[in-house]
Amino acid sequence: MKAPKTELDGFAYLEQAAKQEGQAEAVSAAPGEFRYVGQKITRVDGRLIVTGKAPYTHDLHFEGMLYGKILRSPHAAAEVVSVDLSPALRLPGVMAAVKLTSGRVRYIGEPIAAVAAVDEATAAAAAQLIQVEYKVLPFVVSEKKAMEDGAPQVLDSPNVQKLFEYTRGNIKEGEAQADMVIERTYHTSIEVHHPAETHASIAYWKDGRLNVWDSTQAIFSVRDQLARVLNIPASQVRVIKKYMGGGFGSKLGLNDHTVAAALLAKEAQRPVKIVLSRRENAYCVGNRPSALITIRGGAKKDGTLTFLHLKNYTGGGVGRGDRCSEPLIDIYRCPHVLVEEYSVFTNTCASRPTRAPGHVQGTFALESFLEELAAALNLDPLELRRKNYSEKNLGDTGLPYSSKGLLECYRLGAEAIGWSRRNQTPGQTKGKIRRGIGMATQIWWGAGVPGTIADLKVYPDGAIEAICGTQDLGGGTRTYIATIIADTLGLEPQDITIRIGDTDFPWAPSSGGSQTTPSVGPAFRDAALKAAARLKAIAAKKLNCPPENVEIGEHRLFDKAKPENSISFGEVVRELRRVTVFHGERSDLPAGFAYNSFGAHFAEVEVDIETGKVRVVKVVAAHEVGRVVNRLTAESQVVGGVAQGLSASLFEQRLMDDNEGRCVTTNLVDYKIAAFSDIPEIIPIFVDSPDPRVNNLGSKGLGEPPRIPIAAAVANAVYNALGTHPRQIPMTPEIILSTLKAKEAEP
């Protein structure tokens, strides 16, 4: 077999392409525009967090507070015939008990009833005293078995239902044009949300209004959903979230424990706190759905894609699975595409959005397929991707991208990993330890949500308050808000008081989908620019110069024609004579463009062919997300996303007992998560190029992108090392050994 063809001579073609893209020279800002934005700024609330003074929901206690526990179904499918709360209510210390369901339950862990007591031990004992009569029904917890004829029906509709379909061109025509056609099937397992802080809520009623402290990513969604469930006006619900120890999508909406806390608090007329256990976290709060994805596709000899056909069966428990075809539809230039996706229902907890829903599974399949297609064509995998690079999002009516730095990601990432060192033929190395290098591409959205509101309150004494109903998941929201305002008003980040995480504040979207920074940041930039304009007008009169001549910096306003002619910030704001509020808003996106973020991950691995253990040696993660607002927290976001992705790629897998319908990986011993010793060197790289169209900061979101391509990059590196692709995650030693065994059995 000849070595794969490559044009990577000094990465010349990538440099040339990047220059054509207009992003070979990364620019962070116009000279002097920003002092703090784009720099490595430590968190303004870092000291609070590391000293334990930041108010997490788990830590809060209110006077007279009770503790709630939920009784959950022990059966995967059953009819609830009767529920008797009286034995629990007779236990001393129990103050309230409520029923949460009647009729049918469809998974182990579905809530039946809840109790509130003076302490957790009493509440737990009381929950076990509740008497429930069940009529046990047949169940199915395996996606494979749920698809079989005669399988127990999970819902009132079939177990397999059409989820999504898409057609572009004609795949028969595309197949006729192909010089090479291959078909491969890839599988991703169910991944459980395991944030450091499990789900928790505290509810209390005051003057007829429900107040909830919640560990949530979506205070406004929780407010609105609670109002609907309880049949009260949304104005009578207030949701607060100050600090949170992780969410990753499972905390994007209302959960049963929050409803239970609200009902118990009303019954007892006292605050009620419910904190879910790690076991409940495994059973009841959602997960990333599994995916069984088959891709059939073809290309011409030079690597030009002619057609792609994706069929996906995705398991979302009693909820629908994930659409996993978006990367295949959007990212590459392929004229003929057919997508068929199906949800497979089982008697397990409903899935929930998990960091980059659908894109993680879909990217693993697509990028692994392209790696195998490149080998079949005897082409360099990076060259294959470059060959099918597109300036337009063909899945979004062919709109041009507002900005796209993907080719620069390819160039920088390839240089940093040492792409030329990879095995020119997959599996060409020998010995007990095999080394390989792989890569994968990523696309995501992250343009932000128009309509986000931010208020900037300026006091005559110089105090500044930034107010918005957004929430910080841990990514540093308070810090970038402070730096944006400080840069715009010529102040220091510590001069700004940040008030967020309350539905009594101006509206902001949920913190998910990489939309917080590009939603909230531009709104505060808008408010700060309005404040700056007002202050410049005041200063201009004092300085006897036109307002357009006034600039702000280092706590002073000055005439740029005569910098010595200046006035302090404090003197100017005193002229406001009252507290003045400047309203900012995230404006609409200009029509006619597709707004996406991009990235490419490169991984180097070592595989022990005797034990099957995969050791990731190095990861290079190159991302283009417009302007990087805070380089320190951006790097942290990338490192965290890669680490989380590596954990799922190598270890994480929810396992069910098919006979009993229960989860057998309900703790962090049985459900393994990567430890520090499993995490390699991770090198974040940014193509820091502001998107001139996306918003007034030129910034796109970064929450999801680092999580998307890493599994495929590692799997492709394993393929490069062994010459056989694992085609499923997690890539456990058992999977690697069975993959090697299958290769040995090939003729």
pLDDT single digits (tens) 645-654: 999 999 999 9
- Cβ of 669: how many Cβ atoms within 10 Å? 7
Q: How many other C-beta atoms can be found within 10 angstroms of the C-beta atom of residue 570?
A: 12
Which residues have C-beta within 8 Å of that of residue 15, sequence separation ≥ 6?
A: 24, 411
Question: Would you tell me how many other CB atoms lie within 10 Å of the CB of residue 504?
Answer: 12
397 pLDDT band (50/70/90 cuts)?
A: confident
**20 has a pLDDT exceeding 70:** no
721 in Cβ contact with 616 (< 8 Å): no
CB 357, CB 288: distance < 8 Å: yes
Which DSSP state fits 744? H
Per CATH, domain 448-585 is 3.40.50.300? no
pLDDT for the residue 522? 98
pLDDT (mean) for 591-602: 98
Strands ordered across the beta sheet of 180-188: 160-168, 336-344, 305-315, 290-299, 180-188, 728-729
Distance CA(341)–CA(336), nearest Å, equals 17
Measured distance CA(674)–CA(690) in Å, rounded: 34
Under a CB-based contact definition with an 8 Å cutoff, are residues 93 and 121 in contact? no
Specify the pLDDT at position 32.
55
Read off the pTM: 0.95
Query: 3-state secondary structure string, 301-362?
Result: CCCCEEEEEEEEEEECCCCCCCCCCHHHHHCECCCEEEEEEEEECCCCCCCCCCCCCCHHHH
| Residues 167-200: tens digit of each pLDDT | 999 999 999 999 999 999 999 999 999 999 999 9
Q: Which amino acid, one-letter code, is at 315?
A: G
Per the prediction, the chain carries an average pLDDT of 95
pLDDT at 28 over 50: no
CA 83, CA 97: separation in Å to the nearest integer?
A: 11
User: Confidence class of residue 23 from pLDDT cuts 50, 70 and 90?
Assistant: very low
* Contact assessment for residue 406 and residue 598, using Cβ atoms and an 8 Å cutoff: yes
Tell me how crowded residue 52 is: count the other CB atoms within 10 A of its CB: 8
Given a cut of 60, whether residue 11 has pLDDT beyond it is no
Q: Strand ranges (DSSP E) for 91-221?
A: 94-99, 103-105, 111-117, 131-136, 160-168, 180-188, 191-192, 200-206, 209-214
Q: DSSP string covering 272-293, please?
A: EEEE--HHHHHHHS-EEPEEEE
Sorting pLDDT into bands at 50, 70 and 90, what band is 663?
A: very high
Average pLDDT over residues 523-552: 98
Closest CA to 261 of 312, 201, 192, 303: 201
What are φ and ψ of residue 580, in 5° steps?
A: -120, 130
Contact 371, 709 (CB under 8 A): no
Annotated domain spans of the chain: 9-29+287-447+592-745, 194-285, 448-585
Sheet holding 556-559, edge to edge: 550-553, 556-559, 562-568
Strands 562-568 and 556-559: antiparallel
Other beta carbons within 10 angstroms of residue 132's beta carbon come to 19
Long-range contacts from 97-105, C-beta under 8 angstroms, 24+ separation: 97/126, 97/130, 97/264, 97/267, 98/260, 98/263, 98/264, 98/267, 100/70, 100/256, 100/259, 100/260, 100/263, 103/79, 104/77, 104/78, 104/79, 104/80, 104/137, 105/73, 105/75, 105/77, 105/78, 105/80
- The rounded distance, in Å, linking the Cα atoms of 608 and 435 is 9
Check whether 27 has a pLDDT greater than 70.
Answer: no
Tens digits of per-residue pLDDT, 33-68? 799 999 999 999 999 999 999 999 999 999 999 999
Amino acid in position 471: Q
Closest by CA position to 101, among listed 140, 130, 73: 73
253, 258, 260, 262: CA torsion to nearest 10: -120
| Confidence bin at 30 (pLDDT 50/70/90) | very low
pLDDT tens digits for range 410-456: 999 999 999 999 999 999 999 999 999 999 999 999 999 999 999 99
Are both 9-29+287-447+592-745 and 194-285 of the same fold?
yes
Write the DSSP symbol of residue 475: S
Collect all residues with Cβ–Cβ distance below 8 Å to 280 and sequence separation of at least 6: 70, 72, 109, 198, 199
Cβ contact 256:262 at 8 Å: no
- The mean pLDDT of 328-348, rounded to a whole number, is 99
Q: Which residues pair with 313 in a beta bridge?
A: 292, 342
Q: Stretch 255-281: mean pLDDT, rounded?
A: 98
Q: Which CATH architecture has domain 194-285?
A: 2-Layer Sandwich (3.30)
Helix (H, G, I), strand (E, B) or coil at 550: strand
pLDDT at 31 over 60: no
One-letter amino acid of 606: E
Please give the DSSP secondary-structure letter assigned to residue 249: T
pLDDT beyond 70 at 25 = no
> Alpha helices, DSSP H only, in 474-546?
477-489, 516-543
Give 220-234 pLDDT, tens digit per residue.
999 999 999 999 999
d(CA 392, CA 402): 9
CATH of the domain spanning 9-29+287-447+592-745 = 3.30.365.10
What confidence score (pLDDT) does residue 551 get?
A: 97
Residues with Cβ within 8 Å of 459's Cβ and at least 6 positions away in sequence, in order, are 465, 573, 579
- Residue 312's φ and ψ, nearest 5 degrees, are -130, 135
User: How far apart are alpha carbons 682 and 613 in whole angstroms?
Assistant: 20
Q: How do residues 206-220 score in pLDDT, each as one tens digit?
A: 999 999 999 999 999
- Rounded to 5°, angle at Cα 322 from 316 and 326: 170
- Enumerate residues 6+ apart whose C-beta is below 8 A from 587: 450, 522, 526, 695, 696
Q: Is the pLDDT of residue 244 over 90?
A: yes
DSSP tag of 495: G
**% of residues, the chain, pLDDT over 70:** 96
Q: Rounded to whole angstroms, how far apart are CA atoms 416 and 413?
A: 5
Angle between helices 12-21 and 406-417 (to 10 degrees): 150
Of 111, 25, 24, 116, nearest to 71 by C-alpha is 111
Backbone angles phi and psi of 218, in degrees to 5: -150, 75
Q: Which are the contacts of 106, defined by CB distance < 8 A and separation ≥ 6?
A: 76, 77, 154, 155, 318, 347
pLDDT at position 746: 84
Cα–Cα distance, 248 to 513 (Å, whole number): 10
- Buried b / exposed e along 193-220 (16+ C-beta atoms within 10 A): bbbebbbbbbbbbeeeebbbbbbbbbbb
CA distance linking residue 552 with residue 559, whole number of Å: 9
Alpha helices in 575-709 (DSSP H): 631-650
How far apart, in whole angstroms, are the C-alpha atoms of residue 588 and residue 600? Answer: 29
The predicted structure's pLDDT at residue 745 = 87
Mean pLDDT of the 522-528 span: 98
| Inter-residue contact 452 to 519 (CB < 8 Å) | yes
